[in-house]
Chains A and B, each alone.
Chain A
Amino acid sequence: MLRAKDNFAPRAGTRVAYLSLVSFALLAIAVLVGTMIGPAGPQWWRVPIELVDRLPLITVDSGVSPEEWNIVWQIRMPRVVLAVLVGAMLSVAGASYQGVFRNPLVDPYLLGVAAGAGLGATLVFALRRSATENWLIDPLPLAAFVGGLVAVFATYMIGNTFSKARSSATLVLAGIAVTSLTTAIQTFVLQRNNDVVRQVYGWILGRLSSATWGDVRLILPYVVFSCVVLLMHRRLLDVLRVGDDEATALGMNIRRVRLTVVLAATLGTAAAVAVSGLIGFVGIIVPHTVRLIVGSSYRRVLPLSILCGAIFLVLADIPSRILADPAETPIGVVTAFFGAPFFLLLLRMRKNQV
């Protein structure tokens, strides 16, 4: 006999808690492996011993010299931490964009943030990158950050001016227009400055190789702020799944929610792009993989996207260091190369289930 005080709510809670725990464990392992592997530096198995040695009150002899430790701490560590931040940011931003635009193919670069950042970076390269080497603050991430924000701001203004209705389609179209225009300017600048094409191309493909603790400090506040704001909207993104009209009839101010989510996601994405270039695919593949595992509710998708995005990028960064040793393989190439087949495999497994 069913009674009103019975709880009919699906018991998703325990499973999500379990998956979060597993994700945290995987992230810890990924981070550890990320600090162990790389050209130069100590033998890989000595790193965990040295890490234990560095804990208070414990002394173990790991045989890692101070120079080798320097490589681990100053080169590998910031790189791994940056991968955590950028991966988490791109994934959660991608999931949020897909939510507010109710379009599964949307990525965080939709409204022009990538193109704007690309133009900003291109301008820095074209205006003699070498001259900025001794500057107190590296202008490259700043220019990319500002370029990205300006492009999205332009998209938003255009979209709002031309659309009286509450439609998001105009905004998407405005994003395409701004992206085209920005890319055109970028191409023009590149044509006039043939010598920097290679550098710009390398930047566009994305890399974590030059990561420093400075980069981490630079983007940490934006990423944390953005993730917190997006997580706060996870229930509202679920309400938005029934469409603008019905969400309004259910008492939601969709304009305000959409604006806040887009701004937060863009701010974080621009920060990530500024230090790592354009790492494609993460913002689409990670949220969808999470959806295939825990269902489509944003209350579960957003937090798990943060964790899984971080894991994915830390892992993707490892082959990018060693595949073409001693040269670097751009991480964007790795994410697409390993991400696409993995995603297809997941889709196939899902199909067999249904």
Chain B
Amino acid sequence: MSTLGFCDLSIAYDGVIAVNSFNDILHSGEWLCLIGPNGAGKSSVLRAAAGLVKYSGSVAIDQQEIPATSAKWRAKHIAFVPQTPLMPENMSVYEYVLLGRNPYIKHFASESTHDKQVINKVLMRLDLAQFAKRMVGTLSGGERQRIVIARALAQEAPVLLLDEPTAALDIGHQQQALELVDDLRREQGLTVVSAMHDLTLAGLYADRLVLMHQGSCVASGDAQTVLRSETLAEFYGVSARVHHEADGTVVVIPQRANSN
């Protein structure tokens, strides 16, 4: 249960600006979805929050700025699920999920009974108990995604960052993964930030969308406000119809450029 704030966040790679003065505040338990074309800076914002790139400005949890030098403190508060996690083929699922406890284990110590209990709870919650002894390399794409989320949960961090969580999944597993994140968020009050390309899914699950373009936030609000065909045409250069369902769902349908 924590708020997450970005204040004047800027990132540059070799002098090329990737994110330019990004500001946002998420309230506790909110799901924010970053959308925008490739190279807009979505992943960079997530990677900065996870401590993987250098940035200026600050990222704060419950108004406390994350210290640049303590990777452990950060890992106890922010869990990061990368777009394509590196999966060591010959590691058991149990060992893999156990890695999530690293920030709590002293440098040269090994895991405590409490750490094992946390792992067991997480495995139970995600129905992974029967996978515990399986090797990571033998799992399917959907199962892999679940153990990466399990590892993130084992960090017991109040903030969860997801970079393209559905990119490698079929439509059924996309739904399963996002439903799982949504359930977990409601159960545990997680604050979630995800970067996503599928605008309809983004609008369906997130409380709020932030549209990024060339490193800046250009629109913020709920799906109805942000997903408009003029906006999408301007920033994605796409020709798309936006359809509003009766229940409030916003559906984005791409159209052939010359079909009007």
Contact = CB atoms under 8 A, between A and B. Distances in A.
A183 B21 CA distance: 51
A252 B51 CA distance: 11
A9 interface: yes
Contacts of B15: none
B110 A9 contact: no
Contact of B75 (A4, A233, A251, A297): A251
Contact of A238 (B51, B80, B95, B108): B95
B90 A296 contact: yes
Interface in B90-144: 90-92, 94-96, 99-100, 102-103, 105, 107-108, 110, 116-117, 119-121, 123-124, 129-130, 132-133
Q: How large is the interface on B (under 10, 10 to 19, 20 to 34, 35 or more residues)?
A: 35 or more
Contacts of B76: 251
A195 B76 CA distance: 63
A4 B51 contact: no
Interface in A241-256: 241-243, 245-246, 248-253
Contacts of B172: none
B75 A296 contact: no
Contact of A249 (B52, B94, B108, B133): B52
B102 A10 contact: no
Contacts of A251: 71-76, 102-103
B95 A236 contact: no
Contacts of A238: 91, 95, 99
A188 interface: no
Q: How large is the interface on A (under 10, 10 to 19, 20 to 34, 35 or more residues)?
A: 20 to 34
A241 B88 contact: yes
Among B51, B71, B90, B103, chain A packs the most CB atoms within 10 A around the CB of B71
A3 B123 CA distance: 10
A12 to B, nearest CB: 9
29 contacts: A2-B124, A4-B120, A4-B121, A4-B124, A6-B120, A6-B129, A7-B120, A8-B120, A10-B92, A10-B94, A235-B105, A235-B108, A235-B110, A238-B95, A239-B99, A242-B87, A242-B99, A243-B86, A245-B82, A246-B85, A248-B52, A248-B71, A249-B52, A250-B75, A251-B71, A251-B76, A295-B90, A297-B91, A297-B95
Can you list the 6 inter-chain pairs with the closest CB atoms, starting with the nearest? A251-B75, A251-B103, A8-B132, A243-B86, A296-B90, A251-B72
Given A242-B87, A248-B52, 10 more contacts: A8-B132, A232-B108, A233-B108, A241-B86, A241-B88, A245-B82, A250-B99, A251-B102, A296-B88, A297-B95
Interface of A: 2-10, 232-233, 235-236, 238-239, 241-243, 245-246, 248-253, 291, 295-297, 299
